[in-house]
Amino acid sequence: MNNKIFVAGLSYKTAPVELREKLAVHPSRLACHGCRLKLGGDLSEVVLLSTCNRVEIYGVTPWIKGKAHRLFQLLANSDADFTPHLYIKEDANAIEHLFSVASGLDSMVLGETEITGQVKQAYQAAHQAKLTGRITNRLFQMALQTAKEIRTQTGIGRGATSVGSVAVELAERIFDKNLSAKTVMIIGAGKMGEACIRHLAKRGARSVLVSNRSYDRALNLANEFGGRAVRFDHCLEAMPQADIVVSSTGSPQTILRREDVAKVMIARGNRPLFLIDIAVPRDIDPDVHRLENVVLFNVDHLEKLVRENVRNREQELARCRSIIAEQSTAFLAKIASRPAPTQAAEPATPEWLLGGAAQHNSPGLLQVA
């Protein structure tokens, strides 16, 4: 093939955030910057992908060696030398790289799903700006199909990989995946506790109570989540309203004793209560878990689950790589077997890839929040 498929990029693996942020492109500007790259870089087709962890240029050109650094200078509108941080892959290597990226295999969190939507968005922006062609249209369509196949045929995305997201996973198991009617209470507004609250709120927890030794800090955090601040001395009085309690005070002594929680359960009518103790030393008496309908997890429990989930994902990598290799071979065979068509004969892009109502019901694309 005269024209080569290539990817030139930098990512969290090769460049610090201070450099990545200089090259980052807002989604609304992807088409504009893509046009600049296509014209200035003499590319016949191009798709620009920009996320918090990577900036990558996918394109088609007869010659890429020595050109990649100039593409990134065009992107940054700068004469800075980005070469030490760049990677360049061609043809089969470029194809497999894109399929890995779209499937979450090249992400900081192995198997994460957000990147699939970002790849789709990048492709849509380029296609609508008429920056793509026969090769990149087929390439990105197959990349998204490969991501769906990996998601459905392997367990690469199963299992949360942070303490906050594991807490949400456990809460959803306890409350049968329905957090929309649940109230969350945070005792001590530390960073890890706040992270847990953020994850729970994103998954639909109805209301948030915040109790902290500094009432002003409690007010600020409660306002951020549309919740209510509770004075630290009154947290036990408010606790019967909560279904999920996250404790992270940094207190040197236990703040929730078994007898305290027993009284809370009486006030709750013995409805299930999920306690997450992520303080070190621990905030909650370990014997609390002996109470009926009380579930208690501490930070060691959560971190153990995180490690298990990461190991499980890593074990799925071989299956994922096999799928990518098969899809890459199939793509190269398709491209090699068909002569380049005229613009009018170019295969139509499925409606689900181009946005609009149809994309939400497509059987061919993994839906990403």
CATH code for position 222: 3.40.50.720
Per-residue pLDDT of 36-66, as tens digits, reads 999 999 999 999 999 988 999 999 999 888 8
Whole-number pLDDT of residue 18:
87
Residue 98 located in a structural domain: yes
The catalytic residue among 32, 35, 52, 235 is 52
Q: What is the pLDDT of residue 353?
A: 52
Which of 309, 325, 345 corresponds to the end of one domain?
309
Q: Say if residue 230 is in the same domain as residue 258.
A: yes
263 vs 278: which has the higher pLDDT: 263
Structure-token match 């969350």, residue found: 184
pLDDT of residue 166: 86
**CA angle in degrees (0–180, nearest 5) for 195-197-202:** 100
**pLDDT score, position 86:** 96
State the residue range of the domain holding 137: 4-157+316-361
Task: Tell me, yes or no, whether 291 lies in a domain.
Answer: yes
Say what the pLDDT of residue 346 is: 46
Nearest-angstrom CA–CA distance, 139 and 145: 10
- Same domain assignment for residues 227 and 93: no
Peptide bond into 62 cis (omega under 30): no
Q: 121 in a domain, yes or no?
A: yes
Q: Quick one: 68 and 126 in the same domain? A: yes
Does any domain span residue 369? no
pLDDT band at 165 (very low <50, low <70, confident <90, very high): confident
Given the structure tokens 């369509």, which residue do they identify?
141
Q: Which two tokens stand for residue 225?
A: 């989540």
Per-residue pLDDT tens over the stretch 7-26: 999 999 999 988 998 899 99
> Could you tell me if 35 and 114 lie in one domain?
yes
Strand 87-90, strand 4-11: pairing: antiparallel
Q: What is the mean pLDDT of residues 352-365?
A: 39
Range of weakest confidence among 132-141, 169-178, 262-271: 169-178
CATH code at position 114? 3.30.460.30
Same-domain check for residues 279 and 336: no
Q: Mean of the pLDDT values across residues 277-285?
A: 90
Q: Report the candidate in 240, 247, 63, 323 with the shortest Cα–Cα distance to residue 71.
A: 63
Question: For the whole model, what pTM was predicted?
Answer: 0.71
Burial class of residue 34 in the structure, from the number of CB atoms within 10 Å of its CB (0-12 exposed, 13-18 middle, 19+ buried): buried
What's the token pair of residue 357? 């109502």
Q: Is 196 in contact with 171 (CB distance < 8 Å)?
A: no
Q: What average pLDDT does range 291-309 have in this prediction?
A: 92
What is the tally of structural domains in the chain?
2
How far are the Cα atoms of 1, 43, 283 from residue 67, in angstroms, in the given order? 19, 10, 58
Let me know if residue 213 belongs to a domain: yes
Q: Of 158, 164, 162, 238, whose CA–CA distance to 201 is shortest?
A: 164
Does a structural domain hold residue 357?
A: yes
What does the pLDDT read at residue 369? Answer: 27
Mean pLDDT, rounded, for 363-368 = 33
Residue type, 193: G
Angle value at C-alpha 130, between 350 and 81, nearest 5 degrees: 120
Does one domain contain both 138 and 221?
no
Would 257 be classed as within a structural domain?
yes
Categorize the per-residue pLDDT at 31 as very low, low, confident or very high, splitting at 50, 70 and 90: very high
The reply to whether 85 and 9 lie within a common domain is: yes
Residues 222 and 325 in one domain: no
**Average pLDDT over every residue of 308-335:** 94
Q: Note whether 181 and 137 are same-domain residues.
A: no
pLDDT exceeds 50 at position 357: no
Q: Is 52 a catalytic residue?
A: yes
Same domain, 144 and 49: yes
Percent of the chain scored above 70 by pLDDT?
91
Specify whether 169 is located in the same domain as 223: yes
pLDDT tens digits, residue range 101-130? 999 999 988 998 889 999 999 999 999 999
Residue 367 within any structural domain of the chain: no
Q: How far apart are CA 180 and CA 168, in angstroms?
A: 12
Residue 201 CA to residue 103 CA, distance in Å, equals 26
Residue 331 · residue 80 · CB < 8 Å: no
Sign of the CA dihedral running 107, 113, 118, 123: positive
pLDDT at 21: 87
pLDDT, the chain, mean: 88
Q: Which of 294, 309, 324 is the last residue of a domain?
A: 309
Residue 241 pLDDT more than 50? yes
Same domain, 141 and 216: no
* Residue of higher predicted confidence among 172 and 362: 172
Which of these three, 271, 289, 309, is where a domain ends?
309
